[in-house]
Amino acid sequence: MTADDQPRERLRRLGPRALLDSELLALMVGLTARGRPPESIADAILGESGGLSALAAWEMPDFSRVQGLGPAKASELVAALEIARRVRERAHDPGERLDAPAKVWTRLEPLASGLSVEKCWALCLNRRNRLLALHEVSSGTATSSLLHPREVFRQALRHSAAAVIVAHNHPSGDPAPSHADRAVTRQLVEAGRMIGVELLDHVIVGRPESDPTSKGWFSFGEAGLI
């Protein structure tokens, strides 16, 4: 076999689709400390498991039974299978649906808890209000006006979002909106209209024990101010 025919070289030149199942697995196995060629180990794994589909159900004890496969490499293969499993699962998961301010508060409260400064977040959503991405867009003192339409909608456009929810915390815990909060919300609404990305809500994240309403948040959408 020439160098050009080696699986690693064909992978580099032609991409992973050009390799057989056993060749891909042999590359993952790599060199082992027990002296057995990776190709032989890959063939053994596929033979004992019954193929790639059945291999997805293998766990650490299954790999440990393969002669020549040490515990470190077995752990790596288990981790690789778990990553593949999670990728497959999340490809069909459209993301959390943020269709109520309580859900926004629940999502952000762990990030806001204990902060002594205001932070602002942009939550980019698809047409079904599913979360595409969450970005912190600014941070500073509690007296600063931090919600800049440019930063908010740059993230929304980056993710091709149909809508966006903006949020920021009040370190005091009282989520009652200030005059500045009201003014910047109007600016965000107008900016969203200009670029075609709807501002669904502006949620101020506080704490229930500091909120006269005991909710822990204030929603401009819920209050009819958007």
pLDDT above 70 for 90: no
pLDDT at 2: 57
pLDDT above 80 for 31: no
Region of residue 205 (phi > 0: left; psi between -120 and 50: alpha; otherwise: beta)? beta
pLDDT at 114: 80
CA distance 115 to 172: 9
**CB of 168 within 8 A of CB of 104?**
no
Sheet strands (E) in 13-130: 118-125
Find the mean pLDDT for residues 207-213.
95
Say which range, 24-33, 80-89, 103-112, has the weakest mean pLDDT. Answer: 80-89
Secondary structure (3-state) at 180: helix
> Considering only CA atoms, which of 188, 116, 106 is closest in space to residue 155?
188
**CB of 109 within 8 A of CB of 115?**
no
Average pLDDT, the chain: 88
pLDDT at 113: 85
pLDDT above 90 for 121: yes
pLDDT at 30: 86
> Considering only CA atoms, which of 132, 139, 185, 135 is closest in space to residue 155?
135
CA distance 127 to 69: 48
pLDDT at 207: 95
Residues 6+ apart with CB under 8 A from 36: 67, 68, 69
**CB of 125 within 8 A of CB of 161?**
yes
Q: What is the pTM of this model?
A: 0.60
CA distance 108 to 136: 11
pLDDT at 142: 46
pLDDT above 60 for 159: yes
Q: Which domains does the chain have, with CATH numbers?
A: 3-91 (1.10.150), 101-219 (3.40.140.10)
pLDDT at 200: 96
- Side chain identity at 162, as an amino acid letter? A
Residue 119: how many CB atoms within 10 A of its CB?
A: 19
Residue 157: how many CB atoms within 10 A of its CB?
A: 14
